[in-house]
Amino acid sequence: MTTPTLPGAGLLKGMAVTFKTMVKTLIRPGRYLATVNYPKEKEIPVPRARGVIALDQEACTVCMLCARSCPDWCIYIEGHKEEKPPDKPGGRVRVRATLDRFDIDYALCMYCGICVEVCPFDALFWSPEYEYSEYEMGDMLHDMDRLQDWLATVPEPPPLES
Ligand code: SF4
Ligand code: SF4
């Protein structure tokens, strides 16, 4: 059997929480603020924050695994095969896949990180950079050169535990 509640009890409870938070904020301003006055003030994200995805073009083998695994279908990849000279005289001609296009549409991306997780060749990394908002939706599509530029902002991995 449920206990009957007084009319307006929920409202009073909510007001009590609001009042308590207001007093705490007045006593110690800054400590309880949940927001900052962006862009005048900026928060420093943690090093492993999911800000933007960086691409290492050299490491990418155009395997398409990231594009096939992306739940939002917002990775667009095109490539072609190129013949490379043999490593040593008399060796076989090598065939290497080369990227023609690698775009990520951040207007669709939901920052799940699946693409970074599934890449078998360590070609995708998270960078904590987050300042890339645009006025036009179409400008949220980052091409492979822009994704490569983000690589410089990827933090070093933490040292291995001994
Ligand atoms: S983070 Fe998720 S949604 Fe965004 S590109 Fe990668 S797999 Fe797709
Ligand atoms: S999974 Fe990695 S190697 Fe394969 S296409 Fe994506 S970024 Fe390139």
| pLDDT tens sequence across 13-61 | 999 999 998 888 787 766 666 778 899 999 889 888 999 999 999 999 9
Token pair in block for residue 118: 């599934």
Pocket residues: Cβ below 6 A from ligand 1: 70-72, 74-75, 104, 109-115
Whether 1 is in a domain gets the answer: no
Residue 123 maps to which CATH number?
3.30.70.3270
pLDDT beyond 80 at 84: yes
Q: How far is the centre of ligand 1, averaged over its atoms, from the C-alpha of 118 (Å)?
A: 11
Q: How far is the centre of ligand 2, averaged over its atoms, from the C-alpha of 116 (Å)?
A: 9
Whether 124 is in a domain gets the answer: yes
Same structural domain for residues 80 and 26?
no
- What sign results for the dihedral spanned by CA atoms 85, 89, 90, 91? negative
Structural domains of the chain, count: 2
Query: Which range (30-39, 71-80, 102-111) has the least confidence?
Result: 30-39
Across residues 140-149, what is the average pLDDT?
98
Same structural domain for residues 96 and 17?
no
Whether 158 is in a domain gets the answer: no
Mean pLDDT, the chain, rounded, equals 91
> What pLDDT does 1 receive?
59
Within 8 A by CB and 6+ apart from 127, the residues are: 51, 52, 53, 54, 150, 151, 153, 154, 155
Residue 114's domain comprises: 52-153
Across residues 78-95, what is the average pLDDT?
89
107 contacts 94 by C-beta, under 8 angstroms = no
> What pLDDT does 32 receive?
66
Higher-confidence position of 8 and 135:
135
Same structural domain for residues 85 and 129?
yes
Whether 123 is in a domain gets the answer: yes
User: Relative to the alpha carbon of 70, which ligand is closest?
Assistant: 1
Q: How far is the centre of ligand 1, averaged over its atoms, from the C-alpha of 141 (Å)?
A: 13
pLDDT beyond 70 at 101: yes
Q: How far is the centre of ligand 2, averaged over its atoms, from the C-alpha of 43 (Å)?
A: 31
- DSSP annotation of 105 reads E
Residue among 53, 57, 61 to mutate when testing ligand 2 (max atoms within 8 A of CB): 61
- The candidate with the shortest Cα–Cα distance to 101, out of 68, 133, 148, is 148
> What pLDDT does 18 receive?
92
Of all protein residues, the one whose alpha carbon is nearest to atom 3 of ligand 2 is 60
Ligand 2 pocket, residue 54 CB under 6 Å: no
